[in-house]
Amino acid sequence: MISIKDLYKSYDGNEVLHGVSLDVAPGELMVLIGPSGCGKSTLLKCINRMVNFDSGTIHVGGRDVRQYREEVLRRGIGYCIQEVGLFPHMSVYENIATVPRLLKWPEPKIRERAAELTGIGGLPAGYLTKYPRQLSGGEAQRVGVLRALASDPPVLLMDEPFGAVDPLNREKLQKEFLRIQTELKKTVIFVTHDVDEAILLADRITLMDKGKVVAIDKPVGLEALLDDGFVGGFLGLEYPLRLLKRYEVGELELCDVDEGALDKDAGAVQISPETTLKDLLSMMIRSDKDYIQVRKPDGRYCRMGLEDIKWLLHYAKR
């Protein structure tokens, strides 16, 4: 869906992008991550030509972005930024209607779409008549995402969209976005510097440093590269532990054990679908045994050791 080849860009002699190549499949959520100044944000801006690159090519949907008129290209690509940038003099509805209006959609169709979007974004319908200054930071960011989705573009570019939101709301927004993404299957390029956010959201992660791609892999796959000085330094050597947080019991197939086979003295911990592999590991450490016994949400029992958690981590479907 998005194909970037050998991209170069420099500002006043400083090379920001140094031969970047990247392919993103349709429906894939690609996270760009790296230390600040690594060029991830510039790379994102090259895709809708908010930044003009020096050489190389970018194809979106099979067509070279340089063939489009800038405005036409941008109207076809959803874009949302950390600062949100809602138009303060327009209601939430008018903000959402911006791109559809530029695309000359008929007004009834826009109204229908706006109603649909508030449903998707979990905003009460009354919010459409509110103005940006009446929204909290989290709500404004939500509207920013909905505005980017307004014309139902196949491609979505997101530049640290949840970076300015407080940690509690950030996690809520991330999970909500994940739900929306599972439903809509957009092709997303998502820039962040937050490793946990990358692990939670990414289908694949592109790790960048000094204008170059260091690694492209699934979150689990990057674990193998931790011996590399830069990768280990940036992702942190506790990366495998952070990885565990991505997987929730609800999405995994845990083994079953008969109630009779349980160790009666150890007892069993009740877990919920939101319990993560990281939680299970913590329980194991606290229980002072090399296995734990849990009562799953469906009422059945499971007995797991460290090996099982590692197996789940590497062979889980996501």
Partner 1 sequence: MRKAGIRDKVGLILMSAASFMPLASLKASRLDRGSPFFLWDLPPEGLLIIGSLLALILLSGVAYARFGRDIGRYLSPRILWSLMPAALIAAVSAAGAGSTAPEGARLGLGAGFWLLCAASLILTGRDGVPNSALLAAGASLALCAYLGLMDDLSIYRELVSRRTVFLSEVANHMKLAVLSAFAATVPGVLLGYWCHVSPKARRWVMGFINLMQVIPTLSLLGLIMLPLSYLSRQLPVLADLGIRGIGFAPAFIALGLYCLLPVTANTLAGFSGVDRKALFSADAMGMTGRQKLIRIQAPLAFPVIFSGIRTALSQNIGNATIAGLVGGGGMGTLIFLGLSQAAPDLVLLGALPVILMALLLDGFLGYLEKRVRMAVLHTDD
Where along the sequence are the contacts to partner 1 (CB under 8 A)? 48, 50, 70-76, 79, 81, 83-89, 98-99, 102, 131, 133-134, 147
Closer Cβ to partner 1, 140 or 173, answer by number? 140
In the complex, the smallest distance separating the C-beta of residue 287 from partner 1, rounded to whole angstroms, is 50
Measured from the CB atom, the residue of 68 and 291 that comes closer to partner 1 is: 68
Q: How far is the CB of 292 from partner 1 (least distance, A)?
A: 48
Helix (H, G, I), strand (E, B) or coil at 159: strand
Burial of 225 (0-12, 13-18, 19+ CB in 10 A): middle
Taking a C-beta distance cutoff of 8 angstroms, is the pair 230, 209 a contact? Answer: yes
**DSSP-assigned letters across all residues of 192-246:** ES-HHHHHHH-SEEEEEETTEEEEEE-TTGGGGGTTSHHHHHHH-TTHHHHHHTT
Q: Which is nearer to partner 1, 11 or 87 (CB)?
A: 87
Nearer to partner 1, 88 or 126 (CB): 88
Nearest CB to partner 1, comparing residues 7 and 86: 86
CB of 69 to partner 1, least distance (A): 9
Q: Which residue has the tokens 């989290």?
A: 138
Among candidate residues 165, 148, 164, the one with its CA nearest the CA of residue 156: 148
Q: How far is CA 64 from CA 23, 70, 265, 308, in A?
A: 14, 12, 66, 47
CB of 155 to partner 1, least distance (A): 13
Please identify, using beta-carbon distances, which residue of 95 and 118 lies nearer to partner 1.
95
Q: Are strands 55-60 and 155-159 parallel, antiparallel or unpaired?
A: unpaired
CA atoms of 77 and 58, how far apart (whole Å)? 14
Residues 6+ apart with CB under 8 A from 72: none
The least CB distance from residue 101 to partner 1, in Å, is 9
What 3 state SS string does 125-136 have? HHHHHCCHHHCC
Nearer Cβ to partner 1, position 51 or 316? 51
CB of 130 to partner 1, least distance (A): 9
CB of 137 to partner 1, least distance (A): 13
